[in-house]
Amino acid sequence: MEDFNLRINKIKIDLMKKKGAKETLEKNIKSLEDEIEELQVASSVRTKASIFLNQVLDEQRNKSLVEFEKIGTEMLKFVYDDSYKLIFDTHKTARDNGEVDFRIDIKTSNLIGGQELITNPLTQKGGGVCETIAFALKMSVLNFSNYNGPLILDESWKSVSADTKIDSVARCLKSYSVNHKRQIIFSTHRADVFGKFADNIYRVEREKDKPSTVRDISYETILEELAELNNVSFSYDS
């Protein structure tokens, strides 16, 4: 009988231990379930926030790209012809389908023989279109950043060879400077073209083993020197 009572007591003790362990496990399970629920709520909030922020980002990005396209298109029309357009391809459909990560391809559109031709300016010969687009993007960034200082250019549009297009570029620079009230400091070897639209012209000269000198020079003097070099007559109004 005594052995039986000992066995009963042992069973009771084991039962109490297991009951305590069960209660501990149940508390842990409840704690983990509460934690999972909190994490699910937090995850849901983050997902919604991420979707909202991506939508806002897309809207702001698209708004900026539209403005960039507008400025680039105006610049291309000014320098080339009215059929030119700047296009930003964001591959939205492919991104929405998870096929590609976000990227932007810059393209141009213009009419050739009445047909629209869409090309990558980086693959075009010459480089004048790329330089024009690059300048347009610089203007756009300056406008968006509220930068009020001067725009400094060094031998820009080296790839534009046709005199009529260079003249259009010079007119465009003047128009941009006036409309946006921004000073442009332009280093160039084509002062005969760009100087016509400049408010001030400075020539930087350097003789061997001597420091560089800077002096004012008039546009008329540039034309005179050019005419003398080419042995031709000229008119200030030409």
Same domain for 100 and 163?
A: no
Count how many domains the chain has: 2
Same domain for 19 and 87?
A: yes
Phi-psi region of 18 (alpha: psi -120 to 50; beta: other; left: phi over 0): alpha
Same domain for 117 and 196?
A: no
Res 185: pLDDT: 92
CB contact at 8 A, 102 and 92: no
In a domain, 21, yes or no: yes
User: What φ, ψ does residue 173 adopt, rounded to 5°?
Assistant: -60, -45
In a domain, 116, yes or no: yes
Res 19: pLDDT: 85
User: Which residue range forms the structural domain that includes residue 57?
Assistant: 2-121
Same domain for 110 and 176?
A: no
pLDDT per position as a tens digit, 146-177: 888 898 888 887 777 666 788 888 888 898 88
pTM for the whole thing?
A: 0.65
How many Cα atoms are found within 13 Å in the side-chain-facing hemisphere of 59? 6
In a domain, 12, yes or no: yes
pLDDT per position as a tens digit, 195-221: 989 999 999 888 888 888 899 999 898
Which amino acid is located at 99 in the chain?
E
Same domain for 116 and 152?
A: no
Res 236: pLDDT: 47
In a domain, 90, yes or no: yes
User: Residue-wise pLDDT tens for the chain (238 aa)?
Assistant: 667 777 777 887 888 888 888 888 989 998 999 999 999 999 999 989 988 888 888 888 888 888 889 989 988 888 888 888 999 888 777 767 766 677 788 899 888 888 888 888 887 766 788 888 888 888 888 888 888 889 888 888 777 766 678 888 888 889 888 988 889 999 988 888 889 899 999 998 888 888 888 999 998 988 888 888 776 554 444 4
**Of all helices (H) and strands (E), which one includes residue 189?**
none
Same domain for 111 and 25?
A: yes
Same domain for 86 and 18?
A: yes
CB contact at 8 A, 122 and 130: yes
In a domain, 73, yes or no: yes
CA angle 158, 161, 163 (to 5 degrees): 120
Same domain for 110 and 159?
A: no
In which order are the strands placed within the sheet that holds 105-112? 85-89, 105-112, 115-119
CA angle 123, 129, 132 (to 5 degrees): 140
- Report d(CA 156, CA 158) in Å as an integer: 6
Same domain for 15 and 117?
A: yes
Same domain for 94 and 161?
A: no
- Residue 205: give its domain's CATH number: 3.40.50.300
